[in-house]
Chain A
Amino acid sequence: MGWILFKRALRDLKAGWARYIALSLLIIFSIYIVTSLMGAAVTVIDYTEIRDRELCREDGEFSVFVPLRDDELKEITDKGVSVEAMFYADYAINQDQILRVFKVRENINKISLIEGSLPAADNEAVIERRYSEVNNVKIGDTVKIGEKEFIVKGIGAVPDYNTVIKKLSDTTVDSKSFGLLFVTPDAYEDLYFSGCSLSSQEYYYAYLLNGAMSDDELKNILEDSEFDVNNVDDEYFREYWERMTDRKDELLEGIDELKDGADELADGAEELRDGISEFHDGMTELHDAVPNLTDGIAALDDGAAGLENGVRSYTSGVGSVASGASALSSGASSLADGTSQLNSGASQYAAGIGEFAASAEAMAQSEDPYVAAVAAGFAGPANDLATGYTQIQSGVSGVNSGAASLRDGASQLYSGVSTLNSNSQSLRNGASALHNGTSELREGTVEFADGVNELYDGSGEINDGANELADGARELADGVGEFSDEANDLIDEVFNINVSNLMLFLKHEDNPRIDSAADDVQINYSASIIFGILLVMLFAYVISVFIVHMIDQESSVIGALYSMGLKRRTLTLSYVAVPVIVTFISGVIGTLIAVLTPAGIPAQLADTLGYYSMPALEVEVTPSILIYGLVVPPVTAFIVNVLVVRKRLKNTPLALLRNEKKAVHGKEFKVKGLKFISMFRLRQMIREVRAGLTVILGMFMSLLVAFMALNTFVYCNKVKEYNVDQTKYEFMYSYKYPTEEVPEGGYEAVAEGLRKEIYGYTFDVTMMGITQDNPFFDTGDLPDNDTDIVLSSAVANKYNLSVGDVFTLQDENGDRFYAFRVYRIFDYSASLLVFMDIDRCRDFFGEDDDYFNVVFSDHELEIDSGRLYSTVSKADIEKSAGIYVDMMGTMIITMSVASSMIFLVVMYLMIKMMIDRSAFNISLIKIFGFRKREVRRMYLDGNFFMVLIGSLVVIPLCKSIMDYIYPRYLVSNVGVGIKPTYSLEIYLIIFAVIIGLYLLINFVLTGRLRKITPAVVLKNRE
């Protein structure tokens, strides 16, 4: 029975051949792509593993300033570790190409010859495969380096340059301008000492641990290694060394001075202790004398008070004297006036006396003797009177004179007493001031006494402190002495680190040049598996929709078979057979194309081989690929269809016989105001919701594929665009041996290589300390501290950082971690850089104030190449910027076309099936008299809204999903931080393509709608 039903399935397959072929082609295409990617990935991964083993790929590598001495090498190799020198130097070829020249390897990282042979003579060489391909260098060609010519005898690849990048921080391979050349040891030496290398020789060693120790243990040994500077011939290194040793001497001198200073400090402290001790003794005496002082001052104050009172009494007395003198003076003056009047009266009286005497004398002379006698009687008294009067006048005159003298004396007395009085006021004021002063002095003395007490206490403490200080200073001096000894050792040690012979230590898993092809294809592998299964599920589901349609059509037949005892499982298997067959056959064809044709795995391998340096690989078909290509599709189809068909066949035989269908939600659906045709269209959409969802699912899947392609397209283009636009310098010089002076016209910077892991990959993040006036990076003002940094948008995007976040980086050796706060993010996507002010950077990393190791310039500078690690020009960057676009172009186109095809086919089949399912109804509607345009609107145009709404939901959904997946899984190994943001135009184009494809299908199916005639009703009835 099973076979019979299987026949039915085969015939069904035959009947719907066009539909199944269309689906099959898509499945074949999907399986072909997926298994090709998987096959290529497995081939590369397995080859890498085998090659690593056969070619003795290094476990890691390290570089040193000077080659390891024999005893150092012996110390390592005696412990079981294999070490081989991988010295190299870079040489300019033609105008813009560089060949890195190595000696032929013997034990580690051996050359895998693809063609030809290893060099046997000093003029022979093996050239790296990618360089030879890109530059068309063949066996027998000559490569000229300086004056030396090498005949290419072989083409090969080495495991330590799987990705042939010049610097570890390079993000893209540019085999056009950089490659490897392997020559004999003698030829290598001759070439290097011919002096035509671009830079000094690099002393790299590769090691194999052989289980003898761990990487870290080896690193510890190497870190302890010393080197003899006399072994270094490089003049630039010597200059650098001398500068470093000068600094060491300066430091040692400084420490000696510190030691002397500490001794002096100890001596001084002891002297200080003695001085303070004396001071304290003085303070003690002072302290003791203060009570006497206060008593004396009190007595003085009391005396001053008494003096003030005495002066007050004295001045009062003087005042009284002055008043008396004043009165006396007035009296004397009055007396003088009186005496003067008396004198005047006396004078008048004297005149009268005189006149009387004269008259008497005259009368005495009179003839009249009487008169004469009388007169003679008067003559004696008159004369006596005159004489008396003369005596009176003399007395009055004397009194008058005395009164005048008294007046003058009284006046002088008054004047003197007045002066005394006024002076006594000053005396009183002075006595008062004296008293005030003594009072204040008394109060001050109290305070002074308190102060002296405190001072005394303080001096006691100072004395104790001085004792301790002296003891401490002595201990300090002793400590500085010890520090000096330790510092000398430390400086030796520190200088050993700074100029440590070990420059770089890199485990193979951290080396971006090693096994990166395998890492890269691992992403393809994972993506293929996921997308492959999703696509197969989509197609299986599409098929299941047809199966369900068929079950609906054959419902009564199934019911009849059930009635007669046929089991659901048997029927389910028969219906599942078609999708299983289709997917299986498609899987077989897809797998065969992938495995057997050049368009399959070899084509995918070509992409890998076109970028990574590996030998031509033999396609490897592993069981996993066969399982994926041959088993997964039918199994997926089986599972999907069993789930769908079983559900459909769960109905009872009677329900199947009657072709009963569950009520579709929305049958009772009514929207007021909608016209009949609009309502019909809405119901039709709801009725066909399964097919509609399948179309949207198809749209979702195809858009995921499309967005993967578009993200890649946008990403690659942005890499190209940003690298060109945002690189503003013309030259960047990285110093190996920095000079003291910045070259004229250059902008110095300090670059420190740090690292940060994300999504399983560790990338170099360069800390760039730049000057504020550096014109090549628009960082804005740089923070004036060493905890904040400015991020390039590349770093911000790569590590999902925002302003204010803490960003932790580790040094190249993984020994130290540095945490910074994001201060600002500026638009710079060309490489993973973070920025700090150059001085802060120097301080932070313990460099000298004038240290720099990078110089940016807008023109070429005259710098000796021997000083440099590398020179990067803007032209180099522009050249390599387009590599991603070139590399991914085919993939982008393929995926875009595949995406459109998936959507086109799924949408076509689903909408066509909707029409087929409704053929009876359409026929009936036509019988009723509806016009073609109305029929189209009812049955076809509703899909437009479904596609429209679906695209509005699915486009942002797919973009979000892809934006989540893309950085984590698809470009997680690329050291570029760019958000593949689409412009509005791209969204509009996507939308237009979806609508365009829909309209195309609508146009095609309109014809099919026309072909449904009223006869269908009759035919179906029959």
Chain B
Amino acid sequence: MSDKVFLTVKDLCKSYGEGGSYTQVLKSVSVKVYKGEMCVIQGTSGSGKSTLLNCIGGLDTIDSGNVSVDGTLVESLKGEKLGDYRRDNLGFIFQFYNLVPNLTVRENIQVCEYLSKSPLKMDELINVLGLTEHQNKFPSQLSGGQQQRCAIARALVKNPKVLLCDEPTGALDSKTSRDILVLLERINEEYGTTMLIVTHNNSIKNMVDHVIYLKDGEISKDYYNKVKTPASELEDL
């Protein structure tokens, strides 16, 4: 983690619906994330954590405020430029993996390898993620953990500046969840990738640098862990 602020969210407001169904999801949220930082955004269901992640990732529009990633104002980007922003800066990991079903593990990773001008080494990444023996399998032939690892590899291969993880362990059992978190921890250490992890799992906050609590669209807590618990030692996953 460096001293350089990599990601800034300032006075971000986001709402959905109109009239009776109007919901203010994010209420003037401001966040700062440093480069190489592992940050967890935690909160209950409907607290706005995924919305915050989507706004940072340029997947969702914002009502007011601004989001800056590595100096780029995300809300000012549209169309191709928004796509370029995501391609050049972001890696996404989703709860349900979202792998291309009729591509092998290796091919799923290759899809994103081509998006980067300076991708990570494919074989090394596959090896790091423990997918060497599964690299020619299709997603349907893999377990959930393996699929998520594949999804991580796909997100990492293009060497993103920030990795946005939306409930990366939400669909996994405890052991597999731990494996995945260990892996993310290792990647953060090895590649210095800034990570934003959205989770409702209370244990994960212990392994990261920065913890943000969202409650009803507002930040209720925003702190840095002085002591981090290694992922392998996390309990109650």
What is the interface of chain A, defined by CB distance below 8 A to chain B? 1-2, 4-5, 7-8, 11-12, 15, 554, 556-557, 559-567, 652-654, 657
Please name all residues of chain B whose beta carbon is closer than 8 Å to the beta carbon of A561 when the two chains form the complex. 98, 100, 111-112
Q: Which residues of B contact A2 (CB under 8 A)?
A: 114
The answer to whether A5 and B111 touch across the interface, beta carbons within 8 angstroms, is yes
Q: Of all chain A residues, which has the CB nearest B88?
A: A565
Q: Which residue of A lies closest to B171 (CB)?
A: A1022
Q: Which of B60, B94, B101, B111 makes the CB contact (< 8 A) with A566?
A: B111
Q: Are B102 and A15 in contact (CB under 8 A)?
A: yes
Number of interface residues of B (CB under 8 A): 33
Asked, given contacts A1-B115, A565-B90, A654-B54, whether A8 binds B100 with beta carbons under 8 Å apart, the answer is: yes
State whether A564 touches B99 (Cβ < 8 A): no
Most B-side CB within 10 Å, residue of A559, A560, A564: A564
Given A4-B107, A563-B90, A564-B90, A657-B59 contact (CB < 8 Å): yes
What residues of chain B lie closer than 8 Å to A653, measured between beta carbons? 59
Q: Which of B54, B57, B59, B155 gathers the greatest number of chain A CB atoms within 10 Å?
A: B59
9 smallest CB-CB distances across A and B, nearest first, come from A565-B87, A1-B114, A560-B98, A11-B102, A565-B86, A654-B59, A563-B92, A557-B98, A4-B110
> Which residue of A5, A554, A559, A654 is within 8 Å of B101 (Cβ)?
A554
Question: 11 other contacts beyond A4-B111, A561-B112, with CB at 8 A cut-off?
Answer: A1-B111, A4-B103, A8-B100, A11-B103, A560-B98, A562-B86, A563-B57, A564-B92, A565-B87, A652-B59, A654-B54
Rounded to whole angstroms, the CA-CA distance of A505 and B88 in the bound complex is 81
Known pairs A1-B114, A4-B114; A564 contacts B102 (CB<8 A): no
Asked if B178 is an interface residue, CB under 8 A from chain A, the answer is no
Partner of A563, one of B86, B100, B103, B114: B86
Chain B residue nearest to A557 (CB atoms) is B98
20 pairs, CB–CB < 8 Å, chain A vs chain B? A2-B114, A7-B107, A554-B100, A556-B94, A560-B98, A561-B98, A561-B100, A563-B86, A563-B92, A564-B86, A564-B90, A564-B115, A564-B158, A565-B86, A565-B88, A565-B90, A566-B87, A654-B54, A654-B60, A657-B59
Distance (whole angstroms) from the CB of A390 to the closest CB of chain B: 183
Residues of A within 8 A of B158 (CB): 564-565
Q: How far is the CA of A654 from the CA of B103 in the complex (A)?
A: 22
A8 to B111, CA, bound (A): 11
Does B84 have its Cβ within 8 Å of any Cβ on chain A?
yes
B161 close to chain A: CB less than 8 A: no
> With A554-B101, A657-B98 known to touch, is A565 a contact of B115 (CB < 8 Å)?
yes
Could you tell me the distance between the alpha carbons of A2 and B85 in the complex, rounded to whole angstroms?
A: 20
Partner of A564, one of B54, B110, B154: B154
Contacts of A556 in B (CB 8 A): 94, 96, 98
Contacts of A11 in B (CB 8 A): 102-103
Nearest residue, chain A, Cβ from B97 = A560
Inter-chain contact A557/B57, CB cutoff 8 Å: no
Interface centre among B80, B103, B113, B154 (most CB of A within 10 A): B103
- Check: B83 CB closer than 8 A to any chain A CB: yes
- Distance, CA A562 to CA B98, complexed state (A): 11
Residues on A with beta carbons closer than 8 Å to the beta carbon of B54? 654
Contact A563 B59 (CB under 8 A): yes
Give the interface SS of chain A, mostly helix, strand, loop or mixed. Answer: helix
- How far does the alpha carbon of A657 sit from the alpha carbon of B111 in the complex, in Å? 17
Residues of B within 8 A of A557 (CB): 98-101
A936 smallest CB distance to B (angstroms): 30
For residue B99, which residues in chain A have a CB less than 8 angstroms away from its CB? 557
- Interface residue B217 (Cβ < 8 Å from any Cβ of A): no
Residues of A within 8 A of B145 (CB): none
A residues within 8 A CB of B43?
none
Query: Contacts of A562 on B, CB cut-off 8 Å?
Result: 83, 86
CA distance A341 to B85 in the complex (A): 187
Q: How far is the CA of A745 from the CA of B110 in the complex (A)?
A: 96
CB distance from B155 to the nearest CB of A (A): 7
B91 at interface (Cβ–Cβ under 8 A)?
A: yes
Q: Nearest Cβ distance between residue B195 and chain A, in whole angstroms?
A: 15
A821 to chain B, nearest CB (A): 69
CB pair A657–B94 under 8 Å, yes or no, is: yes
Expressed in whole angstroms, the minimum distance between the Cβ of B111 and any Cβ of chain A is 5
Neighbouring A residues of B98 by C-beta, 8 Å? 556-557, 559-561, 657
The A-contacting residues of B in range 95-151, CB under 8 angstroms, are 96, 98-103, 107, 110-115, 151
Known: A7-B103, A557-B101. A566 touches B115 (CB 8 A): yes
- One digit per residue, 1 when the CB lies within 8 angstroms of any chain A CB and 0 when it does not, for chain B 40-67 equals 0000000000000010010110000000
Which of the residues A12, A560, A567 comes within 8 Å of B94, measured between beta carbons? Answer: A560
Which residues does chain A contribute within 8 Å of B91, judged by CB atoms?
564
Output the least CB separation between B92 and chain A (Å). 4
Would you give the shortest CB distance from B119 to chain A, in whole angstroms? 11
Across the interface, name the chain A residue whose C-beta is closest to B109.
A4
> Could you tell me the distance between the alpha carbons of A11 and B115 in the complex, rounded to whole angstroms?
22
Nearest CB of chain A from residue B122's CB, rounded to whole Å: 12
Closest to B99 in A: A557
Given the complex, which residues of B lie within 8 Å of A657, measured CB to CB? 59, 94, 98
Q: Shortest CB–CB separation between residue A515 and chain B, in angstroms?
A: 55
Closest B residue by C-beta to A11: B102
A567 to B84, CA, bound (A): 9
Provide the bound-state CA to CA distance between A540 and B96, in Å. Answer: 33
B86 and A8: CB pair below 8 A? no
Which residues of B in the span 165-185 have a Cβ within 8 Å of any Cβ on A? none
List the B side residues contacting A559 at CB < 8 Å. 98
Given contacts A8-B100, A654-B60, contact A567 B83 (CB under 8 A): yes
A1018 to chain B, nearest CB (A): 15
- Cβ-closest chain A residue relative to B107: A4
- On whether the beta carbons of B155 and A564 are closer than 8 Å, the reply is yes
Whether A1 touches B86, Cβ cut-off 8 Å, given contacts A8-B100, A563-B59, is no
Per-residue A-contact encoding for B194-207, CB less than 8 Å = 1, 0 else: 00000000000000
Q: Choose from A1, A15, A554, A560 the contact partner of B92 (Cβ within 8 Å).
A: A560
With a cutoff of 8 Å between Cβ atoms, the chain A residues found around residue B80 in the complex are 567
Give the complex CA separation of A5 and B60 in angstroms: 26
- Distance in angstroms from A16 CB to nearest chain B CB is 11
CB distance from B45 to the nearest CB of A (A): 15
- Contact yes or no, A8 B102, CB < 8 A: yes
- Residues of the B chain whose Cβ atoms lie less than 8 Å from the Cβ of A654: 54, 59-60
Hey, which chain A residues are within 8 Å of B88, CB to CB? Answer: 565
* Contact, CB under 8 Å: A8 / B59: no
Within the assembled complex, what's the spacing in Å between the Cα atoms of A847 and B99?
92
Contacting residues, chain B, for A15 (C-beta < 8 A) = 102
Instruction: Check if B102 sits within 8 Å of A1, measured CB to CB.
Output: no
Task: State in angstroms the CA–CA spacing of A8 and B110 once bound together.
Answer: 12
| Most A-side CB within 10 Å, residue of B86, B90, B91 | B86
In the complex, the chain A residue whose C-beta lies closest to that of B110 is A4
Chain B nearest CB, measured from A432 CB (Å): 127
Q: B114: which A residues are within 8 A, CB to CB? A: 1-2, 4
| A652 to B59 Cα, complex, angstroms | 7
B204 CB, nearest partner CB in chain A, Å: 21
**How far in angstroms is the closest Cβ of chain A from B4?**
23
A314 to chain B, nearest CB (A): 139
Contacts of A563 in B (CB 8 A): 57, 59, 86, 90, 92
Q: Are B83 and A565 in contact (CB under 8 A)?
A: yes
User: A554 contacts which chain B residues (CB < 8 A)?
Assistant: 100-101
Q: How far is the CA of A7 from the CA of B80 in the complex (A)?
A: 25
In the complex, the answer to whether A564 meets B59 with C-beta atoms within 8 Å is: no
Min CB distance A43 to B, Å, is 44
| Complex contacts, B110 vs chain A, CB 8 Å | 1, 4
Contacts of A566 in B (CB 8 A): 83, 87, 111-112, 115
Provide the residues of chain B in CB contact with A565, threshold 8 Å.
Answer: 83-88, 90, 115, 158
Chain B residue with the shortest CB-CB distance to A555: B98
Q: Roughly how many angstroms separate A901 CA and B90 CA in the complex, as a whole number? A: 50
Complex Cα distance A563/B87, Å?
8
Q: Which residues of A lie under 8 Å from residue B115 when comparing CB positions?
A: 1, 564-566
In the complex, A8 Cα to B57 Cα: how many Å? 26
Quick one: which of A1, A560, A562 has the most chain B CB within 10 A?
Answer: A560
